[in-house]
């Protein structure tokens, strides 16, 4: 399985990559994950957020997305995450691999996660 929309000469097998989160999260009342995305990355710009407003934008995930987010620990490979989802959700998660590929690709391109192997590759170049 290739990482979608990643233009490289070498094919990358998504199942062999190790995702890590870039942001904190909270569990809401329904037991689902809210990813806390900073409104501004710059500390200087955060000073201009009105009092009483949150420093974060909440990205709400559904049941499967929440399970995936909680399984991303910086140690588990995508294949292991897929196997955990199969065991926890069974048929509800099917088709697991295309869904997981699309979800992780979207998280990666929006900066919510990074892959340890790709980050190491960039620093070695």
Cα 75–96–104 angle (5° rounding)?
A: 50
Render pLDDT for 107-125 as a digit per residue (tens, 0 to 9).
999 999 999 888 766 665 5
Q: What distances in angstroms separate CA 2 from CA 14, 19, 48, 125, one per listed residue?
A: 6, 15, 41, 22
Does pTM top 0.85 for this prediction? no
Render pLDDT for 21-39 as a digit per residue (tens, 0 to 9).
999 999 999 999 999 998 8
> How large a percentage of the chain has pLDDT more than 70?
87
Segments making up each domain of the chain, as ranges: 14-124
Q: What fold, for 14-124? A: Outer Surface Protein A; domain 3 (3.90.930)
Distance CA 41, CA 53 (A): 16
**Tokens of residue 8, six digits:** 């490289």
């Amino acid at each position: 399985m290739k990482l979608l929309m990643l233009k490289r000469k070498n094919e990358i097998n998504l199942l062999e990559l190790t995702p890590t989160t870039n942001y904190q999260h909270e569990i809401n009342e329904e037991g689902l994950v809210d990813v806390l995305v900073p409104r501004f990355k710059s500390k200087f710009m955060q000073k201009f957020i009105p009092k009483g407003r949150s420093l974060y934008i909440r990205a709400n995930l559904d049941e499967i997305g929440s399970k995936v987010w909680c399984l991303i620990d910086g140690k588990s490979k995508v294949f292991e995450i897929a196997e955990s989802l199969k065991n926890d959700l069974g048929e509800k998660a099917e088709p697991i691999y295309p869904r997981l590929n699309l979800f992780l690709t979207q998280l990666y391109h929006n900066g919510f996660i990074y892959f340890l192997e790709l980050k190491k590759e960039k620093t070695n170049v």
